[in-house]
């Protein structure tokens, strides 16, 4: 009678151990993915601040869309990049000086090949008359992994009331 009980106990222990290893592996994969998503979000903010259209071409998916940063109308990848190229070539009345995503206060949720970031963003807009506006936004950033590469497919910015 003792042998079957010991056998069952060993099977349970092995099952729990195997399950714990899977959780650890999954947690490690999530941490790696979380770091990749965080780096992508920071690269987006940096590219928008500096008008780096080459980086925007790479990190924004072809079907990318944004609502809220430049207007309340949907902005496509091509339109966003053309606005930045035009801004660099002309004297525009306002330009984005800096954009920072506070990843410490953000939520990053991972769903296999999709990740969603929700959190606060601070922006500094500089006007032609040198007036500077500090604006806080709440953002949602949706990323997908296609062919092993993470890209941003959608962003939404809502001005946060301070």
Q: pLDDT tens, position by position, for the chain (162 residues)?
A: 455 555 554 445 554 444 333 333 455 668 899 999 999 999 998 988 888 889 999 999 998 888 876 665 566 777 777 776 766 656 666 677 888 889 999 999 999 999 999 999 988 888 777 777 888 889 899 999 999 999 999 988 888 876
108, two tokens: 């990053």
87, two tokens: 């801004």
Go through 125-136 and write b for each residue having 16 or more CB atoms within 10 A of its CB, e for each that does not. Answer: eeeeeeeeeeee
Q: What is the pLDDT of residue 19?
A: 39
Q: What is the pLDDT of residue 129?
A: 76
How does DSSP classify residue 112? Answer: T
Q: What is the pLDDT of residue 145?
A: 96
User: What pTM value is reported for the model?
Assistant: 0.72
How does DSSP classify residue 101? Answer: E
Domain boundaries, the chain: 2-159
The count of other CB atoms within 10 Å of the CB of residue 54 is 9
Helix ranges (H only) for the chain are 2-50, 53-59, 77-89
**For residues 67 and 75, is the Cβ–Cβ distance under 8 A?**
yes
Pick the CATH number of 2-159 from 3.10.450.50, 3.40.50.1220, 3.40.190.290, 3.30.70.270: 3.10.450.50
Q: What is the pLDDT of residue 40?
A: 95
């Amino acid at each position: 009678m003792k042998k079957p009980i010991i056998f069952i106990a060993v099977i349970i222990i092995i099952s729990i151990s195997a399950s714990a290893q899977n959780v650890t592996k999954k947690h490690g994969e999530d941490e790696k993915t979380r770091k990749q998503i965080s780096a992508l979000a920071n690269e987006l903010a940096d590219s928008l601040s500096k008008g780096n259209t080459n980086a925007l071409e790479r990190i924004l998916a072809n079907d990318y869309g944004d609502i809220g940063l430049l207007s309340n109308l949907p902005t496509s990848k091509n339109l966003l990049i053309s606005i930045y190229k035009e801004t660099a070539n002309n004297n525009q009345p306002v330009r984005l000086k800096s954009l920072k995503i506070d990843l410490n206060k953000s939520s990053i949720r991972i769903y296999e090949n999709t990740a969603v970031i929700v959190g606060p963003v601070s922006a500094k807009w500089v006007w032609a008359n040198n007036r500077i506006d500090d604006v806080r936004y709440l953002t949602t950033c949706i990323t997908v992994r296609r062919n092993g590469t993470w890209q941003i497919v959608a962003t939404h910015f809502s001005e946060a009331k301070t």
